[in-house]
Structure 1
Amino acid sequence: MAPGTEPTDSKYRGLVDDMRGGVGWRDLRTPDARRADERDVEITDVRCVVVEGNFPWNLIAVETDAGEYGLGEAFPGPASEYVAFLRPGLVGENPFDVDRLVEHMTQLLSGLGGSLGYSQAAVSGIETALIDVVGKLTGLPAYQLMGGKYRDAVRIYCDCHAGDAPDADPREIYSPESYAAVAREVVDEGFDALKFDLDVRTEAADTATRRLSNDAVEHKVEVVRAVRDAIGSSPALGFDLHWNFSVETAERIARGVEDADLAWLEDPVPPENVDAHRAVTDSTSTPILAGENITRVEGFLPFLTEQAVDVIAPDLQKAGGLFEFRKIATVADAFDVPVAPHNISSPIGTMASVHACATVPNAFALEYHAREVDWWDDLHGRDEPLIRDGEIQVPEEPGLGIDLDPDVVREHAAPGESGLGLEE
């Protein structure tokens, strides 16, 4: 632990003491729990650094007195502040108690509305780092700690973007031909699954209404058909609407693209209303996917029990972590719903998601959202790219089986940030 960073120095020490369970009653610390000597380990520090990729990647390190550290990643956003808040409640705890510490963190955050909110992103990143360090201390890969694997490799779908001339006519930028050209490039790179944004603006509109004109709907239908024609019927193909539209507009789009045999149409309506999702899903044969804005299994449950979606997309860096993902996937499997996790993270979060996807039967594809980041693979320091032939092999090395290049972290750290200090 760096000098001057003892947990007693935390600006949140008093509040964390107060929040140890329902203000002071449900205390989930167990500092004196019985341990074998080799597992009598303590957390000495928890850190977060923001790296500027195509998103601000929140990279987290959990350090221990055993000389090992674990790495994790939290969803982009103000995770650093939540990590700073949680830190005094974690230092001195045993990292082997992953599940208890997740519950402990969620309890500490409960008075801040944290059980189903964005703060679960910090919980997710710290939990991943705990699993990583436990894997290193035991010599086991993360997937083995989570119960074993169903597959040796995880299929990756590439999130793509078309149009790169912002001063041109939007109809020219976002033309069906430009989408089709990018789609062919991505398939030629070895991916057999891909996704595009479909909520681009192609005309002046009152966006507050969440409605599209007939011409705008037809443009989106033409884009979908052009991409499908360009890549053929075999690759899995999805399109994202980013929860921007009304039920009526979403239904019109979904019905219009039915003949394109999409793998999914993503987030057609805002995530708060289960009934709205069910209305869209029931209106079309196009599979409807949602879930990147939902946290913990409790949040997903009504979407599954009400059969409001065809596919779910939890984000492991936001939804509560790797074990929470397994809970979500297990409940989804009980309703015969497949899982295609959302993922906009660095190689750390991506590899964590690979391990988690390997451990459940119904995860069929994982998102990759950094095609334009030419140093993405430099960050992990391996000799070979993580993604080969459209998939990532599940590592056999301890923990996540991946590390960070400290020089690349420092080079791309956000303003005011430095490295994680793990090389010191």
Structure 2
Amino acid sequence: MKSILKELIASNKQIEKADQEARIAEINNPATSDSRRNFLRKTALGGIALGGLMGMSTEDTIAQATSKVSRASKPSDLKITDLRYCIVQNVGRTPIIRIDTNQGIYGLGEVRDGADERYALSLKSHLLGHNPCNVEMLFKSIKQFGFHGRQAGGVCGVEMALWDLCGKAYGVPCWQLLGGRYRDKVRLYADTPESDDLNEFKQKIKYRTVDQGYTWLKMDVSIGMLKNLENGVVNNKFWGGGFSQWTGDYYSYANTRHPFTGIQITEKGLAEMARVVEDVRSVVGYEIPLSTDHYGHFDMNNGIRLGKALEKYRLAWLEDMVPWEYTDQWRTISDALETPTLTGEDIYLKEGFKALIDKKAIDIIHPDLASSGGLLETKRIGDYAEDNGIAMAMHFAGTPVSFMANVHCAAATQNFLALEHHSVDVPWWESLVKTTDGRKLIDKGFATVPLDAPGLGIELNEEEVKKHLNAKDKSFFAPTPDWNDIRSHDRLWS
């Protein structure tokens, strides 16, 4: 038996020597990639013999030898090596990005729903080789490439992924990196279900509030509901009567700002819109806040008339009545109405919110973290609003990746009210990810804040994600070498 053991030891030493020589040759080969070369050097330092553990495959050998070794070494040694993406078909197309590092850990982020993954890919050359834990420095270096609306999606998605990486590297949740948490669960608001039959609607509301547990609801109150009501609005036929807010050419209703449509709501139209709200409020009751949105494109004066017609229903807020840039109009609307006013889902950076906050033009800010600047910038926006006596709700319509970024930010921001959940009735939505600490993602209308799970506290359920990829781009985190090189001098000052 001993002689057999000696033979095995001698044979294994020969294998190790051959492996070592082969490894050195591969390291010195100019054709070897940098990532492969770094891997070979680390295995040499760690004493891993690729043929070493008698009969095991290379993969099993490495797994055995490193089973008790952290995949991450010092956070100060982290370097960004790649930025990759996949596109989920959720609310429109929603790109998820992954930032890889030299230590095997990675961070997940999300470009805002309905936006282009290239907003993030164009930033890759500014990130490669940098330590992802220097989040604020990297954010300042790329924030010039974002803008209001979906154009901010790349910067914000990268910022999410950097915080996820930083939390994983230091072993703490993202909310801890933002200064700590105010709450262990985050209140969600959901759309009211639709039905023309009042009894069926009552059953759906019961399901939303009792079974699903949501304690805050939102409904649309649109002039679209008046398209078949004779004399419900002035200037109806000119715009085709459909009032679609999302599609059309440059001269369409969808792309004409509110003061420029010439649409007015008649008294008959106001009465019908109020009736619909009354029906919903009578079913929901007054224990549940009821917010409203998507009124249509008409001017400030008609917005005030609508607000006054709905005032007796004590709505939680009136959302996006005019474009967010019209600060003075917002101040006029807010001064005229008792119902709280709210806007902000398309605003980029704290600077974009300052005028609305400084002039007390709205009662509640409504950032979408995937447009407003990411976790830290959105917390700063919330804190600035808090200093001025203004509350914060949060807009969201993406995948669970951005959802969890919002949850961490909401947990760390004191004046937070509620976070939107736009996919509450999508059966597969939650299964796109798995929590890394075993908690429920959502429990009875509240998002569960991960108390100990590092980073965002989730990993992708890859097989489920692959089922819901965008039909025009089925790639799944493929390498993106075409975006590696910096080709422009982008400093904004001389």
Q: TM-score when scaled to structure 1?
A: 0.83
Match of 1:194 among 206, 212, 217: 217
Of 171, 184, 205, 1:139 maps to 171
Q: What is residue 446 of structure 2 aligned with on the other side? A: 391
- More off after superposition, 332-341 vs 225-234: 225-234
> Is residue 419 from structure 1 mapped to residue 463 from structure 2 by the alignment?
no
1:97 Cα offset (Å): 0.6
CA deviation string 1:269-303 (max 9, x = no partner): 12221111111111110111111111111110111
User: Once superposed, what is the RMSD of the aligned Cα atoms?
Assistant: 2.5
Partner SS for 1:82? helix
Structure 1 residues 42 and 249, CA gap change in structure 2 (3 angstroms): same
User: Which of 261, 265, 269 does residue 314 from structure 2 map onto?
Assistant: 261
Corresponding residue number in structure 2 for 1:159: 191
Check conservation: 1:154, 1:391, Cα contact below 8 A: yes
Q: Find the counterpart in structure 1 of residue 231 from structure 2.
A: none
The equivalent position to 1:233 in structure 2, one of 275, 278, 286, is 286
User: For the residues of structure 2 that align with 1:5 and 1:373, how far apart are their CA atoms?
Assistant: 43
Q: Counterparts of 1:54 and 1:417 in 2: how far apart (Å)? A: 17
Residue 305 and residue 178 in structure 1: after superposition, are their counterparts in 2 closer, same or farther (change >3 A)?
A: farther
Unaligned runs of at least 5 residues, structure 1: 7-35, 164-172
The one-character-per-residue Cα deviations of 1:40-62 (angstroms, maximum 9, x if unpaired) are: 11101112221001332221111
- What residue is the counterpart of 1:125 in the other structure? 157
Name the amino acid aligned to 1:209: G
Greater helix fraction, Structure 1 or Structure 2: 2
- What's the counterpart of residue 274 of structure 1? 327
1:93 aligns with 2:130: yes
Distance in 2 between the 1:251 and 1:178 partners? 32
CA apart distance, 1:176: 7.4
2:439–2:448 CA contact under 8 A, matched in 1: no
Q: Does structure 1 residue 334 correspond to structure 2 residue 391?
A: no
Return the offset for 1:130: 0.5
Aligned-partner Cα distance in 2 for 1:161–1:353: 24
Paired letter, 1:194: L
Cα distance in 2 for residues equivalent to 1:94 and 1:186: 44
| Structure-1 separation of matches of 2:94 and 2:115 | 11
Per the TM alignment, residue 403 of structure 1 is displaced from its structure 2 partner at its CA by 1.2
Alpha-carbon deviation of 1:243?
Answer: 6.1
Question: Which protein shows a greater Rg?
Answer: 2
Preserved CA contact (<8 Å) 1:180 1:230: yes
Sequence identity (%):
33
SS of corresponding position for 1:59: strand
* 1:263–1:161 distance in 2 versus 1, CA, 3 Å: same
| Structure 2: runs of 5 or more not aligned | 1-30, 35-72, 228-235, 240-260, 480-494
How far apart, CA to CA, are the structure 2 residues paired with 1:215 and 1:297? 41
| Secondary structure of 2:225 counterpart | coil
Partners of 1:363 and 1:388 lie apart in 2 by 19
Q: Corresponding residue for 1:61?
A: 98
DSSP-derived class of the 1:202 partner: helix
How big is the shift at 1:230? Answer: 0.8
Indicate how the Cα distance of structure 1 residues 5 and 84 shifts in structure 2: closer, same or farther if over 3 A, else same: farther
**In the TM superposition, what is the alpha-carbon distance from 1:63 to its structure 2 partner?**
0.6
Counterparts in 2 of 1:117 and 1:155: CA distance versus 1, 3 Å: closer
CA distance, structure 2, for counterparts of residue 310 and residue 220 of structure 1: 23
CA contact (8 A) 1:290 1:312 kept: yes
- Residue 209 of structure 1 deviates from its aligned partner by 2.4
**Alignment partner for residue 316 of structure 1, among 361, 365, 369?**
369
May I ask how many residue pairs the two structures share in their alignment? Answer: 377
Q: Distance in 1 between matches of 2:346 and 2:308?
A: 24
Give the equivalent residue in structure 2 for 1:292. 345
